[in-house]
Chain A
Amino acid sequence: MSHPVLEVKNLSVSFGSREGALTAVNDISFHVDRGEVLGLVGESGSGKSVTGLAILGLIDAPGRIGANSSIRLDGQELVGMPEHELRRLRGRKLAMIFQDPMTTLNPVLRIDTQMIEAVTAHENVSERAARARAREALQRVGIPSPDERLLAYPHQFSGGMRQRVAIAIALLHRPALLVADEPTTALDVTIQAQIISEVQELASQTGTAMVWVTHDLSVVAGLADRVAVMYAGRIVEQGSVVDVLERPLHPYAHGLIGSVPSRNKRGSPLAQIPGMTPSLGRLPPGCAFHPRCPRATDICRGEWPEATAYPGGRTARCYHPHLENEVAA
């Protein structure tokens, strides 16, 4: 009961290549409490998707999870769990939805096939009962005439409808945790908003906690309770949405949110930060952000700064944080 739903400690994921291992996720720790939504933000390539896949145990060779990594779901360790046990958790206690609804459903299988198999993978029920469950799930995500839609193929659905189907599948078994990897990025703005509010409502009904990966700060502001900001495979700052979005400590987070007046901050996409996203193969020594950081000094080029705790349960990895933002206003 005292466990968080998800507790990730010192998670590292590396991909072996000829030139040596690339560390896509480097020693990150975070937790998600029951019913809570954690927003995971960062530039492209910062390791958000890899983090999500690692939680589901879907990192394939040549990817490897680092030795000290720990991922606990309701207190149960997932790292090193045998595949057949992990399989029983996936789709039942742990679910994931992906960015592109055009590609997450199998194009040659009917919707009913894809939904029924998701039911029967975890429950020993008749095909009839499974179909009824599938029908009900489609109804819950607002798909009209579900009986008819069950017989359709994915290409007969719009993008928004497909993502609704994926969400319906993901929530079939009322999972404890849903990892949503930018599920609305590929959709129109109005549909985005609808889907986000639907997922939010469904998740609160089923008590599902969520890790929501996104580029869009307005989504984080509207949906998440806490937020973790990733840069080059590390979490550089995490804390409550209000703290991080309104009063970022880390210069990278500060840059992301930009210098727009605070009223508009929440509705804006990530601001562009001058400079290039570093490639994982050639990370600069020390704090990987230093070539782009306006506050960088010599010390930043030495070692990565440790994660430091600040009031309000936030942490940041920086030698020169925006301390003027430290105390709650």
Chain B
Amino acid sequence: MLVYLIRRIAQAMLVIAVMATLVFFAVYAIGNPIDVLASPQADQIELAAISQRLGLDRPLWEQFGIFVWNALRGDLGTSFVYAEPAAKLILQRLPATFELAFTALAIAVFVGIPLGVYAGLNPDSLGGRSIMGGSILGFSLPNFWQGLMLILIFAVILGWFPAGGRGQTATVLGIESALFTLDGLKHLILPAMNLALFKMALVIRLARAGTREVALQDYVRFARAKGLSRSRIVGVHILKNILIPVVTILGLELGSMIAFAVVTETVFAYPGMGKLLIDSIGRLDRPIVVAYLMMTVVIFVVINLVVDIIYAAIDPRVRLSEVKG
């Protein structure tokens, strides 16, 4: 297991290094931030001064060298706009996005799995068909439109929840989070639902397909022949088997939920990392964009690693072969 871990961590480092290079040069290609940052009336001398201050006058390879050197020391650059470290700006927004992503994940899992299992056990029933129909909608309607509809129905018409923003936070056990206040939760529900809908549709499909397949297996038949109750068969024998693909996919999707909470955060004016990214792209605030992408890569890599470990924990077959290998 230890050898396996070390190998996986080495792989992860390599991925991060390659991504750093790609990200830097890709962002460099987007455009010259001077055009956006400097006032239109600025003359050549002023532009040159700004360029020099931001280090934009140096050759590309030198800028890259400085970026790598600083990144290795944990410095991802200073925002052109806010004149503060980019990493700090992003980290300030991180809790809001994490709250959103994890709440959405929880909704997707705790609603999606039961619905999917039900639909898998009763594929021809009205309930089963409705669930499938709903999941097709979840897949096919654009995410921002679903968000607008949620706002329209639950915030504007019914007035149950606020239409946007992040609510009050409270500090419990040293963690500051909006999950600990009623106001925070109220603000979180709609955007989390919005972010969850697509994943929930995915979980429903995975759980349904898994259940249909597993329900036909000999071991389920044998479990019935043993005289086990239906709840035991579904809740233990079937569920444990379908969790393997669901956890794998969801783990991978968690990364994309964090990274692409962008749309939801924009629709709900939710002050997370995604919104910061969109704003920074608009202002060509290169260090923030680079830092955001780098942090996203790291988050992805870490999540993949964790998923592999969880996967090994729930599937004894993987566990054994990895220990041997």
Contacts and interface: CB of A to CB of B under 8 A. Distances in A.
Given A121-B228, A122-B227, A155 B218 contact: no
Q: Which 3 A-B pairs have the closest CB atoms?
A: A91-B227, A90-B227, A103-B218
Contact of B226 (A53, A100, A121, A153): A121
B225 A56 contact: yes
Contacts of A153: 316-317, 320
Interface residues of B, number: 23
Contact of B316 (A90, A100, A107, A169): A107
Given A90-B227, A108-B240, A155 B317 contact: yes
Interface stretch (B159-167, B229-237, B273-281): B229-237
Interface string A203-241: 000000000000000000000000000000000000000
B111 interface: no
Contacts of B225: 56, 58, 90-91, 95-96, 170
A109 B227 contact: no
B8 interface: no
Contacts of B41: none
A117 B228 contact: yes
Contacts of A21: none
Interface in A25-81: 53, 56, 58
A259 interface: no
Secondary structure dominating the interface of B: helix
A107 B317 contact: yes
Interface string A109-150: 110010001100110000000000000000000000000000
Interface in B204-244: 217-219, 221-229, 232, 236-237, 240-241, 244
Contacts of B236: 109, 113, 117
B237 A58 contact: no
A118 B226 contact: yes
A105 B316 CA distance: 13
B140 to A, nearest CB: 29
Secondary structure dominating the interface of A: mixed
B3 to A, nearest CB: 21
Nearest to B239: A108
A156 interface: yes
Interface string A80-105: 00000001111110011110100111
B37 interface: no
Interface of B: 217-219, 221-229, 232, 236-237, 240-241, 244, 314-317, 320
A262 interface: no
A300 B228 CA distance: 47
Contact of B237 (A106, A110, A155): A106
Given A153-B316, A155-B316, A155-B320, A104 B226 contact: no
A166 interface: yes
Contacts of A87: 227-229
25 contacts: A53-B221, A56-B225, A58-B221, A58-B224, A58-B225, A89-B227, A91-B225, A97-B222, A98-B222, A103-B217, A104-B219, A104-B222, A105-B219, A106-B237, A108-B241, A108-B244, A108-B315, A109-B237, A117-B232, A117-B236, A121-B229, A153-B316, A155-B316, A156-B320, A169-B222
B55 to A, nearest CB: 55
Given A58-B225, A121-B227, A109 B232 contact: no
A110 B317 CA distance: 11
Nearest to A62: B124
Given A103-B219, A155-B320, A156-B320, A108 B227 contact: no
A319 to B, nearest CB: 39
A166 B222 contact: yes
Contacts of A113: 236
Instruction: Kindly name the residue among B219, B225, B236, B314 whose own CB sees the greatest number of chain A CB atoms within 10 A.
Output: B225
B235 to A, nearest CB: 11
A95 B224 CA distance: 10
A265 B144 CA distance: 75
A87 B225 CA distance: 8
Contact of A106 (B227, B241, B244, B314): B241
A170 B179 CA distance: 50
Interface string A161-181: 000001001100000000000
Given A98-B222, A106-B219, A88 B237 contact: no
A91 B233 CA distance: 14
A98 B226 contact: no
Instruction: Kindly name the residue among B223, B236, B237, B244 whose own CB sees the greatest number of chain A CB atoms within 10 A.
Output: B223
Contacts of B317: 107, 153, 155
B227 A88 contact: yes
A113 B317 CA distance: 16
A109 B226 contact: no
A106 B315 CA distance: 11
Contacts of A92: 227
A115 B61 CA distance: 66
A117 B240 CA distance: 15
Nearest to B317: A155
A122 to B, nearest CB: 6
A108 B316 contact: yes
B220 to A, nearest CB: 8
B323 to A, nearest CB: 12
Nearest to B316: A153
A100 B218 contact: yes
